[in-house]
Structure 1
Amino acid sequence: MASPTMRVVFDTDIGTDVDDALALAVLLGSPEVDLLGCTTVYGDTLLRARLAQRLARLGGRPLTVVPGAAKTLTDRPVWWAGHEGVLFPDLDQEPVDEGDGVAYLIEQVGRAPGQVDVVAVGPLTNIARAITESPSFARDVRHLWLMGGRFDDPSPEHNLKCDPEAAAVVFGSGAPITVTGLEITTTVRMDAADVSAIAAAGPLGEALKAEIEQWWRFWDEEWNCPHDPITVLTLVAPSLFGFSPEGRVVVGADGSSTFEAGGGRTRITTSAPAEQVAREIVRRIVRERSR
């Protein structure tokens, strides 16, 4: 197996939409990635951290997991689905690392300037606080890979509208950013055949199947869009995607987002072959079983 070439920290609101758990599994199943650790954000971040640690452990990969910011920058109400962690009745016994997720992000990026990528797939509170608390963070991070926004119409997207103040800080920081919006992620679907393949991937696959089906019941659907795993693939398999030239993203007070070409270091994902992307997500999750 090739040595990992990408040093990554994963920032997530895992536990609500199942796509965060799938994104973690894709990272675990990507031999290019040295997953340094995971930080959690938004709401009960201790519960989220315990869930991330449990899933990693089911995949045979104990992981540094540090709870991060529970509140948004302006203490907006947190949206909570109510099913977070309920499939694991003993989750309160799962150990996680002590410390603060924002401090952990600053430490990891500062320890190796220009060498650490951050994949952030939830509200951007942790990233914004890292930028404001450490003047060098935006300069030292190799790249930010974000799931958020929608760039084909003015509708606000969940991650940005949960903490638009944080999103404005991040996109205005000058850090190099690739962001994948809903107009791309909603073109890809995972269905029952994908779930069957994932379920065969050992204890982690079984847990992911249960989490997926729980999410389907929540929405009364039998499919889901893998928003966050797609974002991971923009890092580990960029040849699958098209990207815009660099520009800037402007975030409205309601969490809406627009992209303006030029004048910045942000690019947006512009194309993705839906079937190929879905197959690659499943392939990497299933490969984790043999690592």
Structure 2
Amino acid sequence: MAPSSRSVIFDTDIGSDVDDALALAVLLGSPEVDLIGCTTVYGDTLLRARLAKRLAGLAGRALPVVAGAAETLSGRPVWWAGHEGRLFPDLGTEQVDEGDAVAYLVDRVTAAPGQVDVVAVGPLTDIAHAVTASPAFARDVRHLWIMGGRFDGPEPEHNFTCDAEAAAVVFGSGAPITVTGLEITTTVRMDAADVAAIAGAGPLGEALKAEIEQWWRFWNEEWNCPHDPITVLTMLVPDLFGFSPEGHVTIGPDGSSTFTPGDGRTRVTTSAPPDRVAQEIVRRIVAAAT
């Protein structure tokens, strides 16, 4: 690990929206990242872990992947698209790492106080369990980088709606947080030209192309918003973005999110140049795949 590298754990509900897979590829294609592990959350977390393991393997990487919480804290039923893992009929043969994702998160963060970033791009159940399992987790994590919420109106966002109770625990923990909401991520689109560039970059690129096109068929569209890769870039290329002053986020029972500047350690992403962000996502994915 280079002295300038950033130790990162990626917590994800990979397999439904293709943006989780793209975010994983961005992390794998970023030389400044030491991706020390991946944890999965929400629903069939073993299948999600196997998919993360397979995609990392296609990039030539041996990534530790640990399955996490399947059920939400709120008791809300899991939304399942139905196509998760379908493009890999032999996915059941993929061996994931033993252990519990919450213990993995707590152990790795508290063993290196102030040195491990956590990127959380799914429902926040794993992170909430880590917060409640160990008071040291929120104190010792270097930073939480979260995709979720919507901060330009009352409409709730999927990740927070799926487990509003978990989101409330995390945002009430006192951990340093940067959160990127839909009002930012929906300004960026990936289209056929981006997919063509990714597809030409080896086995991982081919797999990501198939995953993207599967997601497009699901929505009957020929573009997608890369919500999760944008969140990764707020950590890696912060100069691309604008951020609010620090404050706190309040989570409603329906998962709605409200930011109030002032008392707190949370900031919200407030601006992003769509074309430059899309180009940076593609560049790093191609780097991972070649």
Q: Same fold (TM over 0.5)?
A: yes
Matched, 1:177 2:177: yes
- 8 A Cα contact 1:244 1:270, kept in partner: yes
Q: Provide the residue aligned with 2:251 in structure 1.
A: 251
Counting matched residue pairs gives: 290
- 8 A Cα contact 2:74 2:164, kept in partner: no
Q: Provide the residue aligned with 2:48 in structure 1.
A: 48
Q: Provide the residue aligned with 1:159 in structure 2.
A: 159
For structure 2, which runs of at least 5 residues remain unmatched after alignment? none
Deviations 1:135-171 (A, max 9, x none): 1100000000000000001001000000000000000
- 8 A Cα contact 2:116 2:141, kept in partner: yes
For structure 1, which runs of at least 5 residues remain unmatched after alignment? none
Task: In structure 2, give the amino acid aligned to 1:81.
Answer: A
Q: Secondary structure at the match of 2:153?
A: coil
Deviations 1:83-105 (A, max 9, x none): 00000000000000011101100
Q: Secondary structure at the match of 2:118?
A: strand
Q: Provide the residue aligned with 1:118 in structure 2.
A: 118
Query: In 2, distance between residues paired with 1:100 and 1:5?
Result: 26
- Deviation >2 Å, runs of 4+: 1-4
Q: Provide the residue aligned with 1:135 in structure 2.
A: 135
Q: Provide the residue aligned with 2:148 in structure 1.
A: 148
Query: In 1, distance between residues paired with 2:236 and 2:80?
Result: 30
Q: How far has the Cα of 1:76 moved from its partner?
A: 1.6
Query: In 1, distance between residues paired with 2:3 and 2:201?
Result: 23
Matched, 1:74 2:74: yes
Q: Provide the residue aligned with 2:191 in structure 1.
A: 191
Q: Secondary structure at the match of 1:136?
A: helix
Aligned residues with identical type, % of pairs: 79
Task: In structure 2, give the amino acid aligned to 1:49.
Answer: A
Task: In structure 1, give the amino acid aligned to 2:168.
Answer: A
Q: How far has the Cα of 1:241 moved from its partner?
A: 0.3
Q: How far has the Cα of 1:289 moved from its partner?
A: 3.2
Matched, 1:202 2:198: no
Matched, 1:33 2:33: yes
RMSD, aligned CA: 1.0
Q: Secondary structure at the match of 1:282?
A: helix
Q: Provide the residue aligned with 2:285 in structure 1.
A: 285
Query: In 1, distance between residues paired with 2:112 and 2:253?
Result: 34
